[in-house]
Amino acid sequence: MTTNEQEDVIEMRFSKHINDNTIEALFLCVLVGSLLWYVNGNLYAHSINHTLPYSYFASDGFAYLFLTEHVYESGNQKYHPYYATAGFSDVLWQHGLTIYSVSAIFSRTTGLEIYDSLYFIATIFVILNALGVYLILRNYNRKLAMISAGFFAFLFVKNFYVTYLWGQLGAVSGMLFLTAALWSIDKIDLKRSMVLITLFFTSALLTHIPEFIFAGAFIFVYLIIRFFVEKKIHTNHLKKIIIAGIITLVISSYYIVVFQYGVYQTQGSNPLVMSVETASAGLKVASFTDFGWVFVIALILGVLASVYFMWTEKKTIFALLFGMILLLLGFSNYYGFGLRAFHLRAFWPLYIAVLIGFFIYFILKTFIKKLPVIACAIIALVLFGSIVSSYYTPMSGPGAITQNQYDAFTWINKNTQPEDKILLFYGDGYSQSGRLIHRLTWNIDANDYFASLQAGQLRRAYKAELLTLTQGNLMYWKGFMKPGYYALEENFTTYTTEQDTFNYYVFDLASAYVPPAGQANAYVANMFIANNMTVAYKNQAVVVIQNHNLGAPCLTQIPKSNSTNNSLNTSTKP
């Protein structure tokens, strides 16, 4: 065999194994690996095993964590844990279901800590969502799907990251099933597609109701557009959707009733129209400026190209309508969805990538009639890398809780009685991380506490916040379809004044935000010890004091002045 013949054989064997499908598979491996690296890797120090809840920055994240811990310990989601509901044990579970149960099962199966399992599963949900969008786009055109995937890099830059980072995990998991529900609509011509539609509609509803509503709104708009473009009604499709919707409502009826009587009573009246400026006061929200104007211009041109293409072809293309309708729903903060629209905006890097991708694909196809798959993969990776290099700013942990704080909370959970009451004196992040204590826990009002110290007083009573879930006014069943609300019936208020009724007091001896607070806490802790209390637990930065004489005056010797606290600044970080 000649040299040329050998080269031909090698080339034939290479071509046999390295075809378009292989190139696509390799591309997807790189895409998934990159998403895992940037979404989870840098944020969690490239580890899935930590000694404390790592990169938990907000109260919502801690709430998802202690609820997942409850599911892990109890094995059910019928009631909220008593320590999160003012001590009542029959307050009905009113949150979504999926993220908590999946994370608890994953933790139980793998032995990974619950806090690591929760965010790892959330990351997997984000990546599965990206792959779900890719499948929707690929069903129309593989090359377009590959180019569009390059824009998925926006998921972890600027304010697009906030929904994930700030613990909005209900939306993170709900968006996955929104995508799955819309994928099932794209597959509606399959013989058993009604099963798929029912499965994913039910999953979306039980995971996070806003995404179920978004799915319904999408389908409504999609069917209207399809009717006007194609001038006919697909009765078979409509029948499948209606039957699937009815079955979904029947399966989820109990959860819907609880949600209606519970969370909806306190959150349903939230403003239905909300500006970006108003929403930004409570949460950093995504907007077009986070894309940059080059991409915004490309997006506008992509919308125009999509409309032109469907108009000239006189047919609807689901992949393109997928991007346009979800772009439209992202502006629903102006016409009825309020704050929830900003959760959808956080996933625009997935949902509207097809519109920018179509503009690029449209231009390329104008000049290159036969566009190779490998060229599309290279273009996507260049886009992905360019976005990362231009926009990505790594976030770093560990978040709103320190190792010493977490160790103290863990000790309390393991060594105190379920009926014990805990008072947290000022500590950085306690208003958020204190929710991890599985006991009735109050967090002292920092302004009230610091004001008393500046006045040279150490009082027996302070204003304190009971750390509890307030959504749904602590709803329970009085009887069949007769809801009761402990928060209203017990005249429950978030802030209350307690005197000498706590079993344990927690003092943080160091503060990054209010340095004198650590010194003040140490002084108060020593006063408690001088008044017949004992140190139950202590580490380098946190001390837990036990009160042995519940109900009796804690301080028989109350100092009249304390010069060490005069420099306290009452402007504290939440």
pLDDT in tens, 34-56: 998 887 777 788 888 999 999 88
Q: Are residues 387 and 512 in the same domain?
A: no
Contact call for residues 495 and 547 (beta carbons, < 8 A):
no
In a domain, 4, yes or no: no
Residue whose pair of structure tokens reads 């390059």 in the numeric block:
150
In a domain, 552, yes or no: yes
Q: Are residues 208 and 112 in the same domain?
A: yes
Q: Are residues 227 and 367 in the same domain?
A: yes
- List phi, psi (to 5°) of 352: -110, 5
CA atoms of 294 and 559, how far apart (whole Å): 65
pLDDT of residue 352: 95
pLDDT of residue 47: 85
In a domain, 38, yes or no: yes
In a domain, 343, yes or no: yes
Contacts of 54 (CB under 8 A, 6+ apart): 44, 45, 47, 115, 116, 119, 397, 398, 399
Q: Are residues 367 and 449 in the same domain?
A: no
In a domain, 281, yes or no: yes
Torsional sign, CA 438, 96, 330, 351: positive
CA atoms of 270 and 268, how far apart (whole Å): 6
pLDDT of residue 554: 64
pLDDT of residue 272: 81
**Domain boundary residue, one of 391, 422, 440:** 391
Pick out the chain residues at pLDDT < 50.
9-10, 14, 558-574
Q: Are residues 122 and 80 in the same domain?
A: yes
pLDDT in tens, 312-330: 888 899 999 999 999 999 9
What CATH number is attached to the domain comprising 510? 3.40.50
pLDDT in tens, 326-360: 999 999 989 888 888 888 999 999 999 999 999 99
In a domain, 88, yes or no: yes
Ranges of H-type helices in 139-192: 142-149, 162-165, 169-186
**Domain boundary residue, one of 391, 420, 439:** 391
In total, how many domains does the chain have? 2
SS3 430: helix
pLDDT of residue 269: 57
Q: Are residues 331 and 420 in the same domain?
A: no
Q: Are residues 218 and 310 in the same domain?
A: yes
Q: Are residues 250 and 314 in the same domain?
A: yes
**Domain boundary residue, one of 339, 363, 391:** 391
CA atoms of 49 and 299, how far apart (whole Å): 40
In the chain, how long is the greatest CA-to-CA distance?
103
Cα–Cα nearest to 529, from 551, 546, 511: 546
Q: Kindly provide the residue ranges of all beta strands, DSSP E only, lying in 85-166, ordered along the sequence.
A: none
Q: Are residues 440 and 541 in the same domain?
A: yes
Q: Are residues 419 and 362 in the same domain?
A: no
In a domain, 15, yes or no: no
Task: Please give the order of strands across the beta sheet that includes 461-466.
Answer: 495-499, 461-466, 440-444, 421-424, 504-508, 542-546, 534-538
Q: Are residues 446 and 310 in the same domain?
A: no
pLDDT of residue 15: 55
Q: Are residues 351 and 428 in the same domain?
A: no
Range of the domain at 269: 20-391
In a domain, 81, yes or no: yes
**Phi-psi region at 416: left, alpha or beta (left = phi > 0; alpha = psi -120 to 50):** beta
pLDDT in tens, 122-141: 999 999 999 999 999 999 99
CA atoms of 530 and 512, how far apart (whole Å): 27
